[in-house]
Amino acid sequence: MAIETVSIVGVGLIGGSFGLALRAAGFTGRIIGVSSPRTIEAALERGAIDEGRPLAEAIPWSDLVYLAQPISRILEVLPEVSRLARAGALVTDAGSTKREIVERARGCFADDPFFVGGHPMAGKEQRGVERAEPDLFASATYVLSPPGSDLPDAPVVDEFVAWIGKIGAHVVLLPAEAHDKVVSWTSHLPQLLSTALAASVGKRIARKDLLRVAGPGLRDMTRLAESPYEMWKDILGTNTSEIEQALDRYIEELQALRNDLASDQVEQSFRDAGQLRRRLSTKR
């Protein structure tokens, strides 16, 4: 057993769920939480961690360090974590963008202790350890982005990958840059379209009773718009160039439809769109 002590830094929805999921999957070692006193209290009550400690006391004792803070905090704390981590330990993170985090880690980490970037494709609109669930990762894709071309060859890495499987997630190995490009299309673009739609409709349909003249489509298409800006600020700030490119391509697609709503191009777009839906429904 390479992993006996785990530190979860930032015990929110993801960090808390990771602790609960490890326990539910049979992890019998110690789980230390690093968070504000209020959050530690809630996480202890929820059973997501065994104890709370400051960063400097938690990291040196840990075989696995799980950074689950907002992206900007992960970037800030990485140098200190790399200094505190002990030989043989694995540091990983759960940030929604990977390029800046993995680049920063390349500058801090040498060979050992190890670093592997991570992104569990799980979550919900609500935040906080109070919403944490042991099965949040069930059936989810879990991207791992190593700083090099492959995962570090070490028992602690193999065991972490095994735990990801035990909590029900499916590992996809993807370089940080490729990850950030894919999620700009599959996650960041959908979010911004939803936000822009809700904001536009809110401006145009001012009479409250007229919102009754809406089918379920508007409701579906604006559900993501409930995500708070605070969750998205760091994502937009650390994947700016990819998001700009995706938006540019998307606006071109929309402009082409708009320029001739009676064209064959519109019919072709409906067919292409239906095809993507069929790919999505058979993606595994």
**Footprint on residues 207-226 left by its own copies (CB under 8 A):** 208-215, 217-226
Q: How, if at all, do strands 141-145 and 170-173 pair? A: parallel
User: Is residue 236 part of the contact set for its own copies (CB under 8 A)?
Assistant: yes
**Nearest-approach distance from CB 11 to its own copies, in angstroms:** 21
Under a CB-based contact definition with an 8 Å cutoff, are residues 225 and 198 in contact?
Answer: yes
Candidates 28, 54, 153, 204: give the one binding its own copies (CB under 8 A): 204
| SS3 label, residue 85 | coil
Question: Beta-carbon neighbour count of residue 276 at 10 Å?
Answer: 9
The distance between the two most distant Cα atoms of the chain, rounded to a whole number of Å, is 66
Measured from the CB atom, is 110 or 273 closer to its own copies? Answer: 273
**Nearest-approach distance from CB 149 to its own copies, in angstroms:** 18
**Nearest-approach distance from CB 106 to its own copies, in angstroms:** 22
| Strands laid side by side in the 170-173 sheet | 51-52, 30-34, 5-9, 64-67, 90-93, 114-120, 141-145, 170-173
Measured from the CB atom, is 40 or 169 closer to its own copies? Answer: 169
User: Is residue 167 part of the contact set for its own copies (CB under 8 A)?
Assistant: no
CA distances from 129 to 45, 144, 211 (A): 10, 23, 35
Measured from the CB atom, is 32 or 169 closer to its own copies? Answer: 169
**Nearest-approach distance from CB 50 to its own copies, in angstroms:** 30
| Positions 122 through 141 that interact with its own copies (CB under 8 A) | 122-123, 141
Tokens representing 146? 């190593």
User: Is residue 165 part of the contact set for its own copies (CB under 8 A)?
Assistant: no
**Count of residues that interact with its own copies, criterion CB under 8 A:** 87
